[in-house]
Amino acid sequence: MTSDNLPSLRETLDAHGLLAKKSFGQHFLLDLNVTRKIVRLAGPFEGRSVIEVGPGPGGLTRALLESDAGQVVLVEKDPRFLPLLAELDDGTGRLVTVEADALKVDEAALVAGPAHVVSNLPYNVGTPLLIKWITGPWMPQALTLMFQKEVAERIVAEAGDDAYGRLAVIAQAVCEARIVMHLPAAAFTPPPKVASAVVHLIPRPDRPDRATLKRLETVTAAAFGQRRKMLRSSLKQLGGAALCEAAGVDPDNRAEVIDGAGFLRLAQALGQG
């Protein structure tokens, strides 16, 4: 399916009299060259399902429908877009639209097999959605997600970087993560105040189990909660220097210099304590 014989996204928005709502984090991508590029970076899908959160007027959806996705499942909270998205439905069942809050939706009930997530995320719920997908019981095949640039940098940061913190440790414990595209504010309608970046995440086959991940969340919350303190002090409630020594981590170091492997050893040591 190609989008060439459909009216432009701007014409569609005008025809439906739709204006962006700030409360829903609505900043639209109306240039199909941009959305096609994001979909190329996200794929190939090889017949698998793709979940798109927040399709809005459907710029990314149109590009997904042109791709090799077997099914495209849309989760949109704003009902105003449903009639407009229905115009993209060819009646074959390949496009499924669900009106729901993506934070509350059970993805396992939406798709039968392995699925990718591709989304130009609403900025206000981008991080909680990422945490839900990488720590929850339902694990996607891959995620290709637009974030505000600063959040993207926090996801891919390495130990010692200014942006390094809990989000980097948890995201990278579960996934390989890299920034695959940068977009200026002017690429969106209406333009947000900040620049954006697309992050591609692929879950690791050797990712920690959920119990270890829970402990990783506990350790990183304590360590980065007081990031200027030495670990012997910031981790005091969890075992302090003894925990660090069991994990082979220097207790006189601060959280910001401990790499992902070090945090993982701390989480494992916490489980054995």
Residues near ligand SAM (CB under 6 A) are: 24-29, 53-57, 59-60, 75-78, 101-103, 120, 122, 125
Is cis: bond before 44, omega within 30 of 0? yes
**Residue 55 or 251: which CB sits closer to ligand SAM?**
55
Residues pairing with 26 in the sheet: none
**Residue 85 or 213: which CB sits closer to ligand SAM?**
85
- Shortest distance in whole angstroms from residue 237 CB to ligand SAM: 34
**Residue 147 or 224: which CB sits closer to ligand SAM?**
147
**Distance separating alpha carbons of residues 84 and 164, to the nearest angstrom:** 40
Provide the residue type at 169 as one letter.
Answer: V
**Residue 117 or 156: which CB sits closer to ligand SAM?**
117
- Shortest distance in whole angstroms from residue 1 CB to ligand SAM: 18
- Shortest distance in whole angstroms from residue 234 CB to ligand SAM: 33
**Residue 199 or 219: which CB sits closer to ligand SAM?**
199
**Residue 78 or 245: which CB sits closer to ligand SAM?**
78
- Shortest distance in whole angstroms from residue 255 CB to ligand SAM: 31
Q: Which residue is nearest to ligand SAM (CB)?
A: 54
- Shortest distance in whole angstroms from residue 249 CB to ligand SAM: 37
Tokens encoding 169:
């440790």
Q: What is the 3-state secondary structure (H, E, C) of the chain?
A: CCCCCCCCHHHHHHHCCCCCCHHHCCCECCCHHHHHHHHHHHCCCCCCEEEEECCCCCHHHHHHHCCCCCEEEEEECCHHHHHHHHCCCCCCCCEEEEECCCCCCCHHHHCCCCEEEEEECCHHHHHHHHHHHHHCCCCCCEEEEEEEHHHHHHHHCCCCCCCCCHHHHHHHHHEEEEEEEEECHHHCECCCCCCEEEEEEEECCCCCCHHHHHHHHHHHHHHHHCCCCEHHHHCHHHCHHHHHHHHCCCCCCEHHHCCHHHHHHHHHHHHHC
- Shortest distance in whole angstroms from residue 150 CB to ligand SAM: 16
**Residue 28 or 164: which CB sits closer to ligand SAM?**
28
- Shortest distance in whole angstroms from residue 252 CB to ligand SAM: 43
